[in-house]
Amino acid sequence: MNISASKENILKKIRKALSESTPLPFPSSEGNTSVYQPQREELEMLFAENFTRLQGKFVFCIDQGELVFQLKYLFEQANLKKIYCRETGLQKLFAAENSNFSIIDDLPGCDVSITGCEYLVARTGTIVMSSAQESGRTTSVYAPIHICIATTDQLVYDIRDGLKGIKEKYGRNIPSLITFASGPSRTADIEKTLVVGVHGPKEVYLFLVDKL
């Protein structure tokens, strides 16, 4: 088989290049390192920092007693009297309280809605909720103010950790809806002006209770 002089010249260059490889000029761009930076601080601090940056309001409570106290203080200061909450465990927090607010069964007419969550994603300051919760699909969306109550053992670093947890929790019965909420609803579609609360709550509170 005859090989032209030009082809032979090319093959020689290829053989030489293979025997004397040149280092990559940008090794970090070849997928050798993780896209996300490793966790360098406590998940509670990381979540609080990212959540508040997205205009969410974060409150840390050392126990259930402080949680009830902080919620009652918020209700009084913001004059919130009509509370919508479908989750049995959270309703029990207020059952013995003699206060000016009341639990109602009218989502459009409420002042604030209260839900739990599946997980909290620290890296993005995101609340992960699902349709499998007692609060359902709409509770966190239609009220003007949304309060989410979570515990420190629900914190995960990245979204994939939360999705993995949901898969392990529900097995083959994955919820039909998984919601990722990062602070109040917002849009900048109109003249590139950021508007908050257009298609969801204007304020989002996250009360994080230390899991003892």
**Mind listing the pLDDT tens digit of every residue in the chain (212 residues)?**
555 777 777 777 777 666 665 555 555 555 555 555 555 569 999 999 999 998 999 999 999 999 999 999 999 999 999 999 999 888 888 776 667 788 899 999 999 999 999 999 999 999 999 999 988 888 888 899 999 999 999 999 999 999 999 999 999 999 999 999 987 755 555 555 444 445 568 899 999 999 75
pTM: 0.75
How many residues belong to the chain? Answer: 212
Class of domain 40-209: alpha beta
Phi-psi region of 130 (alpha: psi -120 to 50; beta: other; left: phi over 0): beta
Asked if 177 and 130 count as a contact pair (C-beta separation under 8 A), the reply is yes
Four-point Cα dihedral 28, 31, 36, 41, nearest 10: -60
